[in-house]
Chain A
Amino acid sequence: MTISGRTAVAGVGVTTFGRLAGRSAWSLQAEAVRNALADAGLTKDDVDGLLTEPQFGEPLLLHGHVLGRMLGLKTYYLSTKSIGGATAISLVQEAAMAIDNGLCEVAVCVFGDNAKTGLPMLFGLAQMGRGQADDIAFGMAGGAAMEARSAMRYRHEFKVSDEMFGSVAIAFRDHATRNPNAQYREPLMMEEYLAAPFIAEPFRRYDCAVTTDGAVAVVVTSAERARDLAKPPVYVAGMGQGHNLDALKDPTHYTHFAGARSSARAFEMAGVATDDVDVAELYDCFTSTVLITIEDYGFCKKGEAGPFALEGNLQLGGELPMNTSGGLLSEGDLTGWNHVAEGVRQIRGESTSQVEGAEVCAVSGHGGFQAAHATLVLTKEPSR
């Protein structure tokens, strides 16, 4: 017997996303926590677990201590973690495990940053470069230069066209047009996508996530307690992780992420097959990331995600509607935390691009130099 269905997301809280000049990362985190507790119908005194990802501008050790003090929490479980774009999901998983093992009862997971208007990312970027063995000396600065080499190899091996990459950005933009919190809300046309300047080839502007200020908080509790709260429980049915820790130092990792291992665990735990997934929120720091993840997860065979996207299957009404808030590409880059929030909204029926009758949602997190991957399966029913 696994943990599947024994815990649930009881609340999500987001701030306004966008250019929020004058707002500190801390104030955004606090607002998201307030909103998440209100959403769940809980108060701060109910919270006994805090799990945080530090903001990139001030990558403070002991971030959770500081935020917990600011929020006046009395915690029985505390964690601060940083495994790149897989952090959000991994913290929700950790919260579920802590709750299921009796270490705490109501855990808040939170991330917030003012990357758009706050402290420059320079510090963080330099440190990220260090993590990759001095590659920054050659200009390996920023995520685009990192992931572009994966995209270039993927394009070379599987004959993926510019238009296939573009169709990912266009699909998610279509969803963003209905989301008032999205950074890009105008429809994106292929001509405009192709005419945008290169950032790091093959990535043009709209292949890359859009920076934003903002915060997201997620309240996790036991399934039993979640059933008595303000919103219907969204069950944590499946969890998995997998990591390619040598990332782009291994030639096999350019076109295959650790998502295959991560999703296999999560789908097995949830008792679902790819056909059961009604909607997906896949980590989209770049368009190529989405295509490779679709294949890793088994939604398509290797090399077939590009044509699948080009046929419009990622859009609402398509075979696998995806990133229904606009994702990191159009809603804003909150390193995957907004994917968890949108996954919860889909299962509750609250999305601005709602998939009718959505009961199973797959959420992916990917990052840390393409090394870390985490998968969450959220469901409407506690077991399948």
Chain B
Amino acid sequence: MSSNQPASTGKAGVADVAAMAGPVVDLVAGIKPIVIDETRGFWEGTAAEELRVQVCGACGHKQLPGGPCCRECLSDQLSWERASGRGTLFSFTIVHKAMHPAFAARVPYVLADIQLDEGPILTSNLTDIEPDEVAMNLLVEVWFDEPDRDAFGTQFRLPKFKPWRPDELRVH
């Protein structure tokens, strides 16, 4: 880089490096999702409080996380479809020791693998339940955490799950 060039327009200028510091830290050591082309439909859905699965137009396979092609038939005829938002707790752990400082204030928390009614397994958190009441095969439904943005500005809301109690619906 020549010295007479304004730093703000140089590819590796000082100002640019400083401006990149936030996103770089997020990318290297952060915990936010990093929205890429393959997962954009999923995260854009969460911003609209809609849980989505990627569906193959060729064979009908439904998958998460999103990819560049169908994992069953390699077709690139993919689209995003709204999911029911309900599923079953396939497995879980209650994390007591934070392995990343960002989670130190949150322990203990439930890291949960939810098998969606549509089939794919989504790793998330289970909330609105005491850790010692968490049981395998619990029926759960999605809710969306506060709006946030990834390192490149894409809006998202983390999809989290809480117990789904169908009989509550009958009260009304």
Contacts and interface: CB of A to CB of B under 8 A. Distances in A.
Contact of A249 (B30, B34, B100, B120): B120
Which of B64, B65, B115 has the largest count of A CB atoms less than 10 A from its CB? B65
A142 B96 CA distance: 12
B92 interface: yes
B31 A137 contact: yes
Contact of A145 (B90, B111, B124): B111
B164 interface: no
Contacts of B125: 138-139
A138 B158 contact: yes
B15 to A, nearest CB: 25
Interface string B45-69: 0000000000000000000110000
Interface string B102-146: 010010010101010000110111000000000010000000000
Contacts of B97: 144, 197-200
Interface string B71-105: 10000000000000000001111111111100100
B149 interface: no
Nearest to B109: A139
A254 B71 CA distance: 19
Contact of B96 (A138, A149, A197, A246): A197
Contacts of B103: 139, 141
B104 to A, nearest CB: 11
Contacts of B165: none
B28 A141 contact: no
Given A141-B103, A145-B95, A199-B97, A126 B121 contact: no
A199 B94 CA distance: 8
The prevalent SS among residues of A at the interface is helix
Nearest to B126: A138
Given A141-B31, A251-B90, A135 B123 contact: yes
A264 interface: no
A136 B93 contact: no
A251 B87 CA distance: 13
Contact of B93 (A132, A135, A201): A201
A122 B124 CA distance: 21
B100 A246 contact: no
Which of B39, B90, B92, B123 has the largest count of A CB atoms less than 10 A from its CB? B123
Contacts of A194: none
A141 B96 CA distance: 12
Interface stretch (A10-18, A150-158, A358-366): A150-158
Nearest to A255: B91
B41 interface: no
Contacts of A199: 95-97
Contact of B121 (A127, A130, A198, A250): A250
B28 A248 contact: no
Contacts of B31: 126, 129, 136-137, 139, 141
A125 B65 CA distance: 19
Contacts of B29: 122-123, 126
B29 to A, nearest CB: 5
A200 B158 contact: no
A132 B96 contact: no
B91 A152 contact: yes
B99 to A, nearest CB: 3
Contact of B39 (A123, A133, A148, A201): A133
B99 A141 contact: yes
Contacts of B32: 137
B92 A145 contact: no
Contacts of B96: 197-201
Interface in A267-294: none
A224 interface: no
Interface string A207-251: 000000000000000000000000000000000000000101111
B151 to A, nearest CB: 12
B33 interface: yes
16 contacts: A122-B29, A133-B64, A138-B123, A139-B100, A139-B103, A144-B97, A149-B113, A198-B96, A198-B97, A199-B95, A200-B93, A200-B95, A201-B94, A203-B93, A246-B71, A249-B120
Interface of B: 28-34, 39, 64-65, 71, 90-100, 103, 106, 109, 111, 113, 115, 120-121, 123-125, 136, 158, 160
Given A145-B93, A150-B91, A153-B136, 4 more contacts: A129-B31, A136-B100, A152-B92, A200-B94
Interface of A: 122-123, 125-127, 129-130, 132-142, 144-145, 148-153, 156, 197-203, 246, 248-251, 254
